Structure 1
Amino acid sequence: MKIKCFHSLRLSVTVIFVSCVAHVAFAQALPPKAAVMQAMVKANQYFMQKWPDAGKPIFTNIERPSNIWTRAVYYEGLMALYNIKPDKAYLDYAIQWGEKHKWGLRGGVETRNADNQACGQTYLDLYKLNPQPVRMEAIKASMDRMMASNKVDDWHWIDALQMGMPVFVKLGNLTGDTAYFRKMYELYAFTKYRHAGNGLYNPIEKLWWRDKDFAPPYKEPNGANCYWSRGNGWVVAALVRTLDELPKTDPAYPEYLQDYKDMLAALLPLQRLDGFWNVSLKDHTHFGGKELTGTALFVYGMAYGINKGLIDRKTYLPAVIKAWNALVKDCIHPDGKLGYVQGTGKEPKDGQPVTYTSTPDFEDYGLGCFLLAGTEVYKMK
Structure 2
Amino acid sequence: MLKALKWQEANPIQAKSPTDWTNGAYYTGVVKANEVTGSKEYLDALKAMAKRNNWQPWERFYNADDLAICYSYIYLKYIGEQANLEPTAKIINDHLYKDYSWKNGSKTDEKKILWWWCDALFMAPPVIAAYAKLERDDSYLKEMDKYYMETYDLLYDKKEHLFARDGRFLWTGESTDKKEDNGNKIFWSRGNGWVLAGLALLLTDLPKDYPIRPFYENLFKEMSERIKGLQQDGGLWKTSLLSPESFDHGEVSGSGLFTYALAWGVNNGLLSKTDYQPCVTKAWTALLKCQEPNGKVGWVQNIGFDPKPADSESWQNFGTGAFLMAGSEILNLN
Instruction: Tell whether the structures are fold-level matches, with TM greater than 0.5.
Output: yes
CA distance in 2, matches of 1:140, 1:168: 10
> Higher Cα Rg: structure 1 or 2?
1
CA distance in 1, matches of 2:95, 2:293: 45
Alignment of 1:67-106 (within 5 A): 67-106=19-58
The aligned residue for residue 243 of structure 1 is 203
CA distance in 2, matches of 1:284, 1:88: 40
Q: Post-superposition shift, 1:92?
A: 2.1
1:138 aligns with 2:87: yes
Q: CA RMSD in A?
A: 1.6
The aligned residue for residue 204 of structure 1 is 159
Q: Post-superposition shift, 1:132?
A: 4.1
CA distance in 2, matches of 1:166, 1:369: 15
- List gaps (5 residues or longer) in structure 1: 1-39, 52-57, 194-198
How many percent identity over aligned positions? 34
Residues 67-90 of structure 1, C-alpha deviations (whole Å, 9 max, x = no match): 111111111111111112222232
Q: Which residue type is aligned with residue 116 of structure 1?
A: D
Q: Post-superposition shift, 1:64?
A: 2.0
The aligned residue for residue 96 of structure 2 is 147
8 Å contact from structure 1 (residues 118, 167) kept in 2 = yes
Residues 328-364 of structure 1, C-alpha deviations (whole Å, 9 max, x = no match): 1x20111111121111101113xx3x112x234xx21
Q: Which of residues 201, 209, 213 in structure 2 aligns to 1:253?
A: 213
Residues 276-329 of structure 1, C-alpha deviations (whole Å, 9 max, x = no match): 11100000222342111111111111111111111111111111111111111x
The aligned residue for residue 324 of structure 2 is 371
The aligned residue for residue 355 of structure 1 is 311
1:315 aligns with 2:267: no
The aligned residue for residue 298 of structure 2 is 339
Q: Post-superposition shift, 1:48?
A: 2.2
TM-score, normalised by the number of residues in structure 1 = 0.80
Residues 83-127 of structure 1, C-alpha deviations (whole Å, 9 max, x = no match): 1222223212211211111111211xx611111110010011111
Alignment of 1:1-381 (within 5 A): 40-51=1-12, 58-59=13-14, 64-107=16-59, 111-130=61-80, 132=82, 134=84, 136-149=85-98, 151=103, 153-193=113-153, 199-216=154-171, 217-328=177-288, 330-349=289-308, 352=309, 354-356=310-312, 358-360=313-315, 363-381=316-334
The aligned residue for residue 110 of structure 2 is none
Q: Which residue type is aligned with residue 306 of structure 2?
A: E
CA distance in 2, matches of 1:327, 1:68: 25
Q: Post-superposition shift, 1:182?
A: 0.5
CA distance in 2, matches of 1:252, 1:41: 37
8 Å contact from structure 1 (residues 303, 380) kept in 2 = yes
8 Å contact from structure 2 (residues 63, 95) kept in 1 = no
CA distance in 1, matches of 2:203, 2:7: 31
Q: Post-superposition shift, 1:49?
A: 2.9
User: Secondary structure of the equivalent of 1:332?
Assistant: coil
Residues paired across the two proteins, number: 318
Q: Which residue type is aligned with residue 304 of structure 2?
A: G
Q: Post-superposition shift, 1:131?
A: 5.9
8 Å contact from structure 1 (residues 98, 123) kept in 2 = yes
- List gaps (5 residues or longer) in structure 2: 105-112, 172-176
Q: Post-superposition shift, 1:275?
A: 0.6
> More displaced, 82-91 or 224-233?
82-91
Structure having greater relative contact order (Cα 8 Å, sep ≥ 6): 2
8 Å contact from structure 1 (residues 270, 277) kept in 2 = yes
